[in-house]
Amino acid sequence: MTDEKIKYELEIPVKASPHMLYPYLSTPSGLSRWFSDDVNSRGEEFTFIWEGEENTARRIAQKNDQYIRFRWLSDEEDDRKYFFEFRIQVDELTNDASLIITDFSDEDDLEEDKQLWESQVNELLHIIGS
């Protein structure tokens, strides 16, 4: 039995410019509006708080108005290469933007994790009026 997680992506259409959307994906104040109850950052480390429980992730890559990638410190300590990423993709023909979320999940939790992301993103869409 392996504990390898499955990589998956969700693509959600967003009626917002990358410049307007990106701060919600990359700043503690933006992330705490929709992703978790509170977020604190110190340099590359972001501490996410849900119902009083803290989880810390390191920002491992980013490009303004395009994407940001995090790795949970618990995965880093166990030398696992999992990450979660928010990527903004703009269709060159229609100029429509999509938020692409990449994450990893255990096979048994895959559907539940996707639903959780969709619920969180619905909150984001509500906040930005999309």
Residues whose CB falls within 8 Å of the CB of residue 42, separated by 6 or more in sequence, listed in order: none
- 1 occurs within a structural domain: no
For position 1, what pLDDT does the model report? 44
Percentage of the chain modeled with pLDDT above 90: 90
Percentage of the chain modeled with pLDDT above 70: 98
The model's pTM is 0.92
> Domain limits at 52?
6-128
Crossing angle between the packed helical segments 18-26 and 110-128, to the nearest 10 degrees:
120
For residue 28, pLDDT beyond 90: yes
Handedness of CA 98, 72, 76, 65 (dihedral sign): positive
C-alpha count within 13 angstroms, C-beta hemisphere, residue 2: 5
List, for residues 108-119, the tens digit of each pLDDT value.
Answer: 999 999 999 999
Q: Over the range 30-40, which residues count as b (16 or more CB within 10 Å of their CB) and which as e?
A: bbbbbbbeebe
List, for residues 33-84, the tens digit of each pLDDT value.
Answer: 999 999 999 999 999 999 999 999 999 999 999 999 999 999 988 889 999 9
- 14 occurs within a structural domain: yes
Q: How far apart are CA 123 and CA 34, in angstroms?
A: 6
Domain CATH for 74: 3.30.530.20
Number of domains in the chain: 1
For position 2, what pLDDT does the model report? 54
